[in-house]
Amino acid sequence: MIRVIVLGSNGMAGHVLVNFLKRFPEKYLVLSVARSKSKVGPDIILNLADFDGLKALIIKWQPDVIINSAGILNLSAENAPAEAILINSFLPHFLVEVTKETKCKIIHVSTDCVFSGKKGGYLENSTKDGIGYYAQTKALGEINNQKDLTIRTSIIGPEIKSDRIGLFDWFMNQKGQIFGYTNAIWSGVTTMQLARIIDYSIEKNLSGLIHAVNNQKISKYDLLLIFKSCFQVDDITIMKKDDYYVDKSLVNSRVDFQYPIPSYLDMVIELKEWVESQKSLYNY
């Protein structure tokens, strides 16, 4: 039995991850941790800036794995830089410090936003040149050692929180004419695939830093078209918009990370099945 603590269990990644891991009670004993109640828990309510309380929880529960899916995102980070520094930068290294004399593995979820998007095709060791508090605090928070693991990616998926900012949730709440950027280039995974990748990473005992991508680029415009097709949304018309240029695409170059990430179409088909199986959680 693998004892797992999931931090940030109300978030876009966290709530799917907890649900996925709890499907395997013979393999995982999961403790979900978040700072407030939601439709899905958590098991423990804890402000992750309460480092004494967090340390006490870790010592008491003695996890084999701690998955850090918590984060202060985008505009919130720009508006609250002190909190962003605490959660995005300090917290991951605090977890490493607390568990360094144990066998507990930290799995930290990072972002393609550590890069500016001026170039694209970023490797694991590419220079992190992202601008702003979110990019820079997430860059500083990445951990890279022989025991723990940082998973750098970008995610799409449904959300249960009220302060939603993700592309998929935005799309599912639109009507009429919207615009999709043809020159905004993306590579990433659905939250369901991220959960599978984390399960794989635990099984394979991966460490260091990996890029969780299928090594294929897609524009945000084409990604929206896949959403529209798979979810059969007839009341939205997607127009091309080509005046915004950014390419934060990642490349996986690690030969020991061989998880077969599906195509974007197949990932969204799986995402649709997940959303339809969890109608009590989502209002789509």
> Over the stretch 225-278, which tens digit does the pLDDT of each residue have?
999 999 999 999 999 999 999 999 999 999 999 999 999 999 999 999 999 999
Q: Would you give the DSSP letter of residue 263?
A: -
> Over the stretch 82-100, which tens digit does the pLDDT of each residue have?
999 999 999 999 999 999 9
Cα-only R_g, the chain: 18
The single residue listed with the structure tokens 């799309």 is 171
Q: Report whether pLDDT(161) > 90.
A: no
pTM: 0.97
Task: Give the pLDDT confidence score for residue 41 in this predicted structure.
Answer: 87
Task: Give the pLDDT confidence score for residue 64 in this predicted structure.
Answer: 99
Cβ atoms within 10 A of the Cβ of 34, count? 27
Average pLDDT, the chain: 97
Task: Give the pLDDT confidence score for residue 198 in this predicted structure.
Answer: 99
Q: Is the dihedral of CA 94, 33, 113, 206 positive or negative?
A: positive
Q: Report whether pLDDT(3) > 90.
A: yes
> Over the stretch 174-212, which tens digit does the pLDDT of each residue have?
999 999 999 999 999 999 999 999 999 999 999 999 999
Task: Give the pLDDT confidence score for residue 40 in this predicted structure.
Answer: 87
Task: Give the pLDDT confidence score for residue 39 in this predicted structure.
Answer: 87
Task: Give the pLDDT confidence score for residue 163 in this predicted structure.
Answer: 74
Domains (ranges, CATH) in the chain?
2-277 (3.40.50.720)
Task: Give the pLDDT confidence score for residue 146 in this predicted structure.
Answer: 98
Are residues 210 and 253 in contact, defined by beta-carbon separation less than 8 angstroms?
no
> In angstroms, rounded to a whole number, what is the distance separating the alpha carbons of residues 129 and 118?
9
> Over the stretch 31-67, which tens digit does the pLDDT of each residue have?
999 999 998 889 999 999 999 999 999 999 999 999 9
